[in-house]
Chains A and B, each alone.
Chain A
Amino acid sequence: MKTVVLILVIALLVTSNLYTFIYFNGLNGYLKFTLQQMAMRRNQVLGEYNILNKYVYTLNESYIDITEANERLREVYRSLQENLSSITYNYTLMNYFDFMGKFTFAYTDEMRDFVINVTEGWNGTDEDFQSDLYKIYKAWRGIFKYVTPTLGEQQVSQSSEKFLFINIGAFNYGRTYVYSLEEHNWIALDYLREVHSYEIRPIDVSGAPNSFRNKQGVCWDFAVVLVALYYAYYDVSGKSLPTAYISIRIIRGFQESHGVVFVKLEGDKVAILDWDVVTPVKNGMLEFIPFEEAKKLHEEYWGHSISYKGFMKGRPYEARRFYSDEEFYEWLVNELK
Protein backbone atom coordinates (compact mmCIF):
# COMPACT_ATOMS: atom_id res chain seq x y z
CA MET A 1 0.00 0.00 0.00
CA LYS A 2 2.81 2.37 1.01
CA THR A 3 4.65 1.63 -2.24
CA VAL A 4 1.59 2.40 -4.28
CA VAL A 5 1.25 5.77 -2.52
CA LEU A 6 4.92 6.52 -3.14
CA ILE A 7 4.60 5.67 -6.85
CA LEU A 8 1.53 7.91 -7.09
CA VAL A 9 3.47 10.79 -5.48
CA ILE A 10 6.34 10.21 -7.90
CA ALA A 11 3.94 10.24 -10.84
CA LEU A 12 2.45 13.53 -9.59
CA LEU A 13 5.90 15.03 -9.11
CA VAL A 14 7.02 13.98 -12.61
CA THR A 15 3.85 15.53 -14.06
CA SER A 16 4.42 18.67 -12.02
CA ASN A 17 8.06 18.79 -13.16
CA LEU A 18 7.05 18.45 -16.80
CA TYR A 19 4.35 21.08 -16.43
CA THR A 20 6.72 23.53 -14.72
CA PHE A 21 9.34 23.01 -17.40
CA ILE A 22 6.92 23.42 -20.31
CA TYR A 23 5.22 26.46 -18.78
CA PHE A 24 8.35 28.31 -17.72
CA ASN A 25 10.27 27.39 -20.84
CA GLY A 26 7.38 28.68 -22.98
CA LEU A 27 7.20 31.90 -20.96
CA ASN A 28 10.97 32.25 -21.22
CA GLY A 29 10.83 31.82 -25.00
CA TYR A 30 8.04 34.37 -25.28
CA LEU A 31 9.96 36.91 -23.19
CA LYS A 32 13.12 36.35 -25.25
CA PHE A 33 11.12 36.81 -28.47
CA THR A 34 9.49 39.99 -27.12
CA LEU A 35 12.89 41.36 -26.13
CA GLN A 36 14.27 40.56 -29.56
CA GLN A 37 11.32 42.23 -31.29
CA MET A 38 11.65 45.31 -29.15
CA ALA A 39 15.37 45.54 -29.83
CA MET A 40 14.62 45.30 -33.55
CA ARG A 41 11.97 48.04 -33.33
CA ARG A 42 14.38 50.24 -31.38
CA ASN A 43 17.11 49.66 -33.97
CA GLN A 44 14.67 50.51 -36.72
CA VAL A 45 13.68 53.77 -34.98
CA LEU A 46 17.35 54.56 -34.35
CA GLY A 47 18.07 53.88 -38.03
CA GLU A 48 15.30 56.31 -38.99
CA TYR A 49 16.71 58.80 -36.51
CA ASN A 50 20.19 58.50 -38.06
CA ILE A 51 18.81 59.07 -41.56
CA LEU A 52 16.77 62.06 -40.34
CA ASN A 53 19.86 63.36 -38.57
CA LYS A 54 21.76 63.23 -41.88
CA TYR A 55 18.94 65.10 -43.65
CA VAL A 56 18.81 67.67 -40.87
CA TYR A 57 22.58 68.16 -41.10
CA THR A 58 22.45 68.89 -44.87
CA LEU A 59 19.32 70.99 -44.36
CA ASN A 60 21.10 73.01 -41.72
CA GLU A 61 24.13 73.51 -43.99
CA SER A 62 21.83 74.68 -46.81
CA TYR A 63 19.91 76.95 -44.46
CA ILE A 64 23.14 78.55 -43.21
CA ASP A 65 24.36 79.02 -46.81
CA ILE A 66 21.13 80.72 -47.87
CA THR A 67 20.80 82.94 -44.78
CA GLU A 68 24.43 84.03 -45.17
CA ALA A 69 23.76 84.77 -48.85
CA ASN A 70 20.66 86.77 -47.88
CA GLU A 71 22.71 88.77 -45.39
CA ARG A 72 25.30 89.58 -48.08
CA LEU A 73 22.57 90.59 -50.53
CA ARG A 74 20.84 92.76 -47.90
CA GLU A 75 24.16 94.47 -47.29
CA VAL A 76 24.54 95.22 -51.01
CA TYR A 77 20.96 96.50 -51.18
CA ARG A 78 21.48 98.65 -48.05
CA SER A 79 24.65 100.06 -49.54
CA LEU A 80 22.89 100.84 -52.83
CA GLN A 81 20.03 102.48 -50.95
CA GLU A 82 22.50 104.60 -49.00
CA ASN A 83 24.15 105.72 -52.23
CA LEU A 84 20.77 106.47 -53.79
CA SER A 85 19.62 108.39 -50.72
CA SER A 86 22.54 110.77 -51.23
CA ILE A 87 20.95 111.92 -54.51
CA THR A 88 19.54 115.36 -53.75
CA TYR A 89 16.66 115.45 -56.27
CA ASN A 90 13.46 113.40 -56.47
CA TYR A 91 13.83 110.53 -58.86
CA THR A 92 12.47 107.26 -60.08
CA LEU A 93 14.34 104.22 -61.40
CA MET A 94 13.76 102.86 -64.88
CA ASN A 95 15.34 100.05 -66.82
CA TYR A 96 17.92 101.48 -69.23
CA PHE A 97 16.31 100.02 -72.36
CA ASP A 98 12.78 101.04 -71.28
CA PHE A 99 14.14 104.51 -70.59
CA MET A 100 15.94 104.78 -73.93
CA GLY A 101 12.86 103.51 -75.73
CA LYS A 102 10.80 106.30 -74.21
CA PHE A 103 13.46 109.01 -74.12
CA THR A 104 14.69 108.66 -77.72
CA PHE A 105 11.44 109.92 -79.22
CA ALA A 106 10.05 111.90 -76.27
CA TYR A 107 9.09 115.51 -76.78
CA THR A 108 9.22 118.35 -74.28
CA ASP A 109 6.70 121.16 -73.77
CA GLU A 110 9.13 123.36 -75.69
CA MET A 111 8.96 120.98 -78.68
CA ARG A 112 5.16 120.86 -78.55
CA ASP A 113 5.01 124.68 -78.48
CA PHE A 114 7.41 124.70 -81.44
CA VAL A 115 5.04 122.45 -83.40
CA ILE A 116 1.96 124.52 -82.47
CA ASN A 117 3.70 127.75 -83.47
CA VAL A 118 4.86 126.33 -86.78
CA THR A 119 1.57 124.69 -87.81
CA GLU A 120 -1.00 126.86 -85.95
CA GLY A 121 -2.91 123.63 -85.39
CA TRP A 122 -4.75 121.35 -87.80
CA ASN A 123 -7.91 122.45 -89.61
CA GLY A 124 -9.13 118.89 -90.13
CA THR A 125 -8.26 118.47 -93.82
CA ASP A 126 -5.76 116.02 -95.28
CA GLU A 127 -4.16 118.88 -97.20
CA ASP A 128 -3.52 120.86 -94.03
CA PHE A 129 -2.17 117.74 -92.31
CA GLN A 130 0.33 117.05 -95.11
CA SER A 131 1.18 120.73 -95.26
CA ASP A 132 1.81 120.81 -91.49
CA LEU A 133 4.14 117.81 -91.77
CA TYR A 134 6.17 119.71 -94.33
CA LYS A 135 6.12 122.91 -92.26
CA ILE A 136 7.46 121.04 -89.23
CA TYR A 137 10.28 119.53 -91.29
CA LYS A 138 11.12 122.89 -92.84
CA ALA A 139 11.11 124.75 -89.54
CA TRP A 140 13.29 122.13 -87.85
CA ARG A 141 15.65 121.97 -90.85
CA GLY A 142 15.89 125.74 -90.72
CA ILE A 143 17.18 125.90 -87.17
CA PHE A 144 19.22 122.66 -87.07
CA LYS A 145 22.95 122.97 -87.53
CA TYR A 146 24.91 119.95 -88.76
CA VAL A 147 28.08 119.42 -86.80
CA THR A 148 30.74 117.35 -88.54
CA PRO A 149 32.09 114.65 -86.23
CA THR A 150 35.81 115.07 -85.62
CA LEU A 151 38.18 112.46 -87.04
CA GLY A 152 37.68 109.10 -85.46
CA GLU A 153 34.28 109.94 -84.02
CA GLN A 154 31.29 107.99 -85.22
CA GLN A 155 28.15 109.57 -86.60
CA VAL A 156 26.53 109.47 -83.19
CA SER A 157 24.70 112.14 -81.30
CA GLN A 158 26.77 114.95 -79.83
CA SER A 159 23.87 116.17 -77.70
CA SER A 160 24.09 113.78 -74.83
CA GLU A 161 23.02 114.41 -71.27
CA LYS A 162 24.35 112.87 -68.07
CA PHE A 163 22.10 110.50 -66.15
CA LEU A 164 23.07 108.34 -63.21
CA PHE A 165 23.22 104.68 -64.09
CA ILE A 166 23.21 101.76 -61.66
CA ASN A 167 25.20 98.77 -62.69
CA ILE A 168 25.77 95.41 -61.02
CA GLY A 169 28.64 93.45 -62.50
CA ALA A 170 27.70 89.86 -61.89
CA PHE A 171 25.05 87.74 -60.24
CA ASN A 172 26.47 84.51 -58.85
CA TYR A 173 24.00 81.74 -58.19
CA GLY A 174 24.45 78.75 -55.92
CA ARG A 175 22.82 75.35 -55.80
CA THR A 176 22.17 73.32 -52.69
CA TYR A 177 20.57 69.93 -52.20
CA VAL A 178 18.09 69.02 -49.48
CA TYR A 179 16.04 65.91 -48.90
CA SER A 180 12.31 66.43 -49.21
CA LEU A 181 10.32 64.09 -47.00
CA GLU A 182 7.23 65.00 -48.99
CA GLU A 183 8.74 64.07 -52.33
CA HIS A 184 10.94 61.32 -50.86
CA ASN A 185 13.80 62.58 -52.95
CA TRP A 186 16.79 64.91 -52.92
CA ILE A 187 15.83 68.21 -54.49
CA ALA A 188 18.12 70.91 -55.89
CA LEU A 189 17.49 74.48 -54.73
CA ASP A 190 18.96 77.38 -56.70
CA TYR A 191 19.54 80.69 -54.98
CA LEU A 192 21.30 83.99 -55.54
CA ARG A 193 24.58 83.65 -53.62
CA GLU A 194 26.18 87.04 -54.20
CA VAL A 195 26.44 90.01 -56.49
CA HIS A 196 29.73 91.54 -57.56
CA SER A 197 30.98 95.00 -58.33
CA TYR A 198 27.95 97.25 -58.19
CA GLU A 199 28.30 100.95 -58.94
CA ILE A 200 26.39 104.12 -59.61
CA ARG A 201 28.04 106.18 -62.33
CA PRO A 202 27.05 108.92 -64.77
CA ILE A 203 26.38 107.90 -68.38
CA ASP A 204 25.69 109.91 -71.52
CA VAL A 205 22.16 109.60 -72.82
CA SER A 206 21.00 110.93 -76.18
CA GLY A 207 17.43 111.54 -77.23
CA ALA A 208 15.13 113.96 -78.98
CA PRO A 209 14.73 116.31 -75.94
CA ASN A 210 18.45 117.16 -75.67
CA SER A 211 19.06 117.12 -79.44
CA PHE A 212 16.20 119.60 -79.86
CA ARG A 213 17.56 121.75 -77.02
CA ASN A 214 21.02 121.90 -78.67
CA LYS A 215 19.61 122.29 -82.19
CA GLN A 216 22.72 120.80 -83.65
CA GLY A 217 24.33 117.43 -84.21
CA VAL A 218 24.48 114.69 -86.79
CA CYS A 219 21.82 112.97 -88.91
CA TRP A 220 20.73 110.90 -85.91
CA ASP A 221 19.85 114.04 -83.91
CA PHE A 222 18.03 115.59 -86.86
CA ALA A 223 15.94 112.51 -87.69
CA VAL A 224 15.13 111.52 -84.11
CA VAL A 225 13.91 115.04 -83.28
CA LEU A 226 11.84 115.16 -86.47
CA VAL A 227 10.09 111.92 -85.48
CA ALA A 228 9.47 113.33 -81.96
CA LEU A 229 8.12 116.60 -83.41
CA TYR A 230 5.75 114.57 -85.60
CA TYR A 231 4.61 112.64 -82.51
CA ALA A 232 3.95 115.97 -80.80
CA TYR A 233 1.93 117.10 -83.82
CA TYR A 234 -0.02 113.83 -83.88
CA ASP A 235 -0.92 114.35 -80.22
CA VAL A 236 -1.96 117.97 -80.82
CA SER A 237 -4.04 117.16 -83.94
CA GLY A 238 -5.42 113.82 -82.81
CA LYS A 239 -4.48 112.25 -86.18
CA SER A 240 -1.38 110.25 -86.89
CA LEU A 241 0.55 108.44 -89.60
CA PRO A 242 3.04 105.61 -89.14
CA THR A 243 6.40 107.32 -88.68
CA ALA A 244 9.83 105.84 -88.07
CA TYR A 245 13.53 106.57 -87.98
CA ILE A 246 15.19 104.50 -90.71
CA SER A 247 18.85 103.63 -90.73
CA ILE A 248 20.22 103.50 -94.27
CA ARG A 249 23.48 102.45 -95.84
CA ILE A 250 24.83 104.44 -98.75
CA ILE A 251 27.10 102.27 -100.83
CA ARG A 252 29.80 104.41 -102.43
CA GLY A 253 33.11 102.56 -102.36
CA PHE A 254 32.96 102.59 -98.60
CA GLN A 255 29.75 102.04 -96.75
CA GLU A 256 28.27 104.99 -94.93
CA SER A 257 25.46 104.85 -92.39
CA HIS A 258 22.86 107.55 -92.24
CA GLY A 259 19.50 108.22 -90.56
CA VAL A 260 16.31 109.45 -92.23
CA VAL A 261 12.58 109.62 -91.47
CA PHE A 262 9.86 107.64 -93.19
CA VAL A 263 6.20 108.63 -92.96
CA LYS A 264 3.75 106.13 -94.39
CA LEU A 265 0.31 106.99 -95.71
CA GLU A 266 -1.01 103.52 -96.57
CA GLY A 267 0.22 100.34 -98.28
CA ASP A 268 3.71 101.16 -99.51
CA LYS A 269 3.10 104.89 -100.08
CA VAL A 270 5.74 106.83 -98.21
CA ALA A 271 7.37 110.20 -97.81
CA ILE A 272 11.14 110.16 -97.17
CA LEU A 273 12.65 113.01 -95.23
CA ASP A 274 16.45 113.06 -95.44
CA TRP A 275 18.37 116.32 -95.05
CA ASP A 276 15.96 117.37 -97.78
CA VAL A 277 12.55 115.94 -98.51
CA VAL A 278 13.42 113.27 -101.05
CA THR A 279 9.86 112.49 -102.14
CA PRO A 280 7.87 115.21 -103.94
CA VAL A 281 6.46 118.27 -102.17
CA LYS A 282 3.52 119.85 -104.02
CA ASN A 283 1.97 123.16 -102.96
CA GLY A 284 3.85 123.00 -99.67
CA MET A 285 2.45 119.52 -98.89
CA LEU A 286 4.28 116.23 -98.40
CA GLU A 287 3.38 113.76 -101.13
CA PHE A 288 3.27 110.03 -100.56
CA ILE A 289 4.50 107.86 -103.43
CA PRO A 290 5.05 104.09 -103.84
CA PHE A 291 8.20 102.84 -102.15
CA GLU A 292 9.90 101.76 -105.38
CA GLU A 293 9.67 105.29 -106.78
CA ALA A 294 10.66 106.80 -103.44
CA LYS A 295 13.73 104.60 -103.23
CA LYS A 296 14.74 105.55 -106.76
CA LEU A 297 14.50 109.23 -105.84
CA HIS A 298 16.44 108.55 -102.66
CA GLU A 299 19.25 106.87 -104.62
CA GLU A 300 19.26 109.74 -107.11
CA TYR A 301 19.48 112.15 -104.17
CA TRP A 302 22.65 110.47 -102.92
CA GLY A 303 23.96 109.43 -106.34
CA HIS A 304 24.59 105.93 -105.01
CA SER A 305 22.62 102.82 -104.28
CA ILE A 306 21.01 102.62 -100.86
CA SER A 307 19.94 99.81 -98.59
CA TYR A 308 17.54 100.24 -95.68
CA LYS A 309 19.24 98.52 -92.76
CA GLY A 310 17.02 99.05 -89.76
CA PHE A 311 14.37 101.08 -88.02
CA MET A 312 13.51 102.65 -84.67
CA LYS A 313 10.18 104.01 -83.57
CA GLY A 314 8.39 104.94 -80.39
CA ARG A 315 4.90 104.28 -79.01
CA PRO A 316 5.81 101.59 -78.12
CA TYR A 317 9.52 101.57 -78.78
CA GLU A 318 10.57 99.07 -81.42
CA ALA A 319 13.82 98.58 -83.28
CA ARG A 320 15.05 95.99 -85.73
CA ARG A 321 17.72 95.31 -88.32
CA PHE A 322 16.90 94.25 -91.86
CA TYR A 323 19.03 91.81 -93.74
CA SER A 324 17.44 92.23 -97.18
CA ASP A 325 15.41 94.77 -99.17
CA GLU A 326 12.54 92.28 -99.25
CA GLU A 327 12.53 92.06 -95.49
CA PHE A 328 12.41 95.85 -95.24
CA TYR A 329 9.58 96.10 -97.78
CA GLU A 330 7.58 93.41 -95.96
CA TRP A 331 7.96 95.35 -92.71
CA LEU A 332 7.09 98.68 -94.36
CA VAL A 333 3.88 97.39 -95.87
CA ASN A 334 2.64 95.04 -93.17
CA GLU A 335 4.22 96.01 -89.87
CA LEU A 336 4.84 99.75 -89.79
CA LYS A 337 1.79 101.09 -87.98
Chain B
Amino acid sequence: MEIPGLKRVVKASASHFLILLIVLLILSNLFMLIYFSIENARLREAIETEQKLYEEAIQLREQEWNRYEDLYSKLLKALEVNKELNTTLRSIPGSVVIPYNYTSVLKRG
Protein backbone atom coordinates (compact mmCIF):
# COMPACT_ATOMS: atom_id res chain seq x y z
CA MET B 1 0.00 0.00 0.00
CA GLU B 2 1.37 3.32 -0.95
CA ILE B 3 0.74 6.54 0.99
CA PRO B 4 0.01 9.18 -1.52
CA GLY B 5 2.64 11.98 -1.58
CA LEU B 6 5.10 10.12 0.68
CA LYS B 7 7.47 9.36 -2.13
CA ARG B 8 7.58 13.03 -3.05
CA VAL B 9 8.21 14.06 0.55
CA VAL B 10 11.09 11.56 0.95
CA LYS B 11 12.57 12.65 -2.32
CA ALA B 12 12.45 16.30 -1.28
CA SER B 13 14.00 15.56 2.14
CA ALA B 14 16.85 13.64 0.55
CA SER B 15 17.56 16.54 -1.74
CA HIS B 16 17.64 18.91 1.21
CA PHE B 17 19.90 16.60 3.13
CA LEU B 18 22.28 16.33 0.23
CA ILE B 19 22.30 20.10 -0.24
CA LEU B 20 22.96 20.53 3.49
CA LEU B 21 25.80 18.04 3.26
CA ILE B 22 27.24 19.95 0.30
CA VAL B 23 27.07 23.21 2.27
CA LEU B 24 28.78 21.54 5.25
CA LEU B 25 31.48 20.10 3.03
CA ILE B 26 32.10 23.51 1.42
CA LEU B 27 32.27 25.13 4.87
CA SER B 28 34.62 22.43 6.13
CA ASN B 29 36.85 22.91 3.08
CA LEU B 30 36.89 26.67 3.58
CA PHE B 31 37.63 26.27 7.30
CA MET B 32 40.57 23.97 6.53
CA LEU B 33 41.91 26.35 3.92
CA ILE B 34 41.71 29.32 6.26
CA TYR B 35 43.06 27.45 9.31
CA PHE B 36 46.03 25.93 7.51
CA SER B 37 46.76 29.12 5.57
CA ILE B 38 46.93 31.07 8.82
CA GLU B 39 48.89 28.34 10.62
CA ASN B 40 51.37 27.91 7.75
CA ALA B 41 51.79 31.66 7.37
CA ARG B 42 52.58 31.80 11.12
CA LEU B 43 55.11 28.98 10.68
CA ARG B 44 56.69 30.69 7.67
CA GLU B 45 57.00 33.85 9.69
CA ALA B 46 58.53 31.87 12.59
CA ILE B 47 60.98 30.26 10.14
CA GLU B 48 61.93 33.68 8.82
CA THR B 49 62.49 34.94 12.37
CA GLU B 50 64.44 31.78 13.19
CA GLN B 51 66.54 32.30 10.07
CA LYS B 52 67.36 35.83 11.17
CA LEU B 53 68.22 34.64 14.68
CA TYR B 54 70.37 31.87 13.20
CA GLU B 55 72.23 34.37 11.01
CA GLU B 56 72.72 36.61 14.04
CA ALA B 57 74.06 33.65 16.02
CA ILE B 58 76.42 32.81 13.15
CA GLN B 59 77.55 36.43 13.10
CA LEU B 60 78.10 36.38 16.87
CA ARG B 61 80.12 33.19 16.58
CA GLU B 62 82.16 34.71 13.74
CA GLN B 63 82.83 37.81 15.81
CA GLU B 64 83.85 35.70 18.79
CA TRP B 65 86.04 33.57 16.57
CA ASN B 66 87.74 36.70 15.20
CA ARG B 67 88.14 38.00 18.74
CA TYR B 68 89.71 34.68 19.71
CA GLU B 69 92.11 34.72 16.76
CA ASP B 70 92.99 38.36 17.36
CA LEU B 71 93.59 37.77 21.07
CA TYR B 72 95.51 34.57 20.43
CA SER B 73 97.92 36.27 18.02
CA LYS B 74 98.26 39.19 20.47
CA LEU B 75 98.95 36.70 23.26
CA LEU B 76 101.63 34.97 21.16
CA LYS B 77 103.24 38.35 20.46
CA ALA B 78 103.09 39.26 24.17
CA LEU B 79 104.67 35.90 24.98
CA GLU B 80 107.40 36.56 22.43
CA VAL B 81 108.08 39.94 24.04
CA ASN B 82 108.09 38.24 27.45
CA LYS B 83 110.59 35.69 26.16
CA GLU B 84 112.85 38.46 24.84
CA LEU B 85 112.61 40.35 28.14
CA ASN B 86 113.35 37.13 29.99
CA THR B 87 116.45 36.52 27.83
CA THR B 88 117.59 40.12 28.24
CA LEU B 89 117.05 40.22 31.98
CA ARG B 90 118.50 36.72 32.45
CA SER B 91 121.68 37.85 30.70
CA ILE B 92 122.12 40.78 33.08
CA PRO B 93 122.17 39.37 36.62
CA GLY B 94 125.51 38.12 37.69
CA SER B 95 127.06 40.51 35.17
CA VAL B 96 130.13 42.56 35.81
CA VAL B 97 130.47 46.06 34.37
CA ILE B 98 133.79 45.91 32.55
CA PRO B 99 135.50 49.20 31.65
CA TYR B 100 136.57 49.16 27.98
CA ASN B 101 140.26 49.40 28.83
CA TYR B 102 139.99 45.88 30.30
CA THR B 103 138.56 44.21 27.22
CA SER B 104 141.92 43.68 25.48
CA VAL B 105 143.41 42.30 28.71
CA LEU B 106 140.56 39.83 29.09
CA LYS B 107 141.22 38.38 25.64
CA ARG B 108 144.54 37.09 26.98
CA GLY B 109 143.12 35.21 29.96
Contacts and interface: CB of A to CB of B under 8 A. Distances in A.
Query: Does B associate with A?
Result: yes
Interface of A: 2-3, 6-7, 9-10, 13-14, 16-17, 20-21, 24-25, 27-28, 31-32, 34-35, 38-39, 41-42, 45-46, 48-49, 52-53, 55-56, 59-60, 62-63, 66-67, 69-70, 73-74, 76-77, 80, 84, 87, 89-97, 99, 101-108, 163-168, 171, 178, 181, 189, 191-192, 195, 198, 200, 203, 205, 207-209, 228, 231-232, 235, 314-315, 317
A56 B63 CA distance: 11
B98 interface: yes
Contacts of B95: 93-96, 165-166
Given A89-B100, A106-B109, A192-B85, 7 more contacts: A10-B25, A28-B40, A92-B98, A92-B100, A93-B91, A171-B89, A207-B109
A20 B34 CA distance: 11
A178 B64 contact: no
11 contacts: A6-B22, A45-B58, A52-B64, A63-B75, A66-B75, A70-B81, A73-B82, A89-B99, A106-B108, A198-B93, A235-B108
B19 A20 contact: no
A114 to B, nearest CB: 14
Contacts of B15: 2-3, 6
B7 interface: no
Given A6-B19, A52-B65, A165-B96, A209 B105 contact: yes
A20 B29 contact: yes
Given A96-B94, A235-B108, A56 B71 contact: yes
A49 B57 contact: yes
A168 B92 CA distance: 8
Contacts, number: 221
Q: Is the interface of A mostly helix, strand, loop or mixed?
A: helix
Given A16-B29, A91-B99, A166 B78 contact: no
B60 A49 contact: yes
B94 A97 contact: yes
A17 B29 CA distance: 5
Interface string B54-75: 1001101100110110011011
B40 to A, nearest CB: 6
Nearest to A189: B79
Contacts of B46: 35
A28 B39 CA distance: 7
B8 interface: no
Contacts of A191: 79, 82-83, 86
B88 A77 contact: yes
Contact of A63 (B22, B51, B71, B100): B71
A191 to B, nearest CB: 5
The CB with the most chain B CB atoms within 10 A, among A31, A62, A104, is that of A31
Contacts of B98: 91-94, 99, 163
Interface string B29-54: 10011001101100110110011011
Nearest to B85: A73
Given A10-B18, A106-B109, A25 B36 contact: yes
Contacts of B22: 6, 9-10, 13
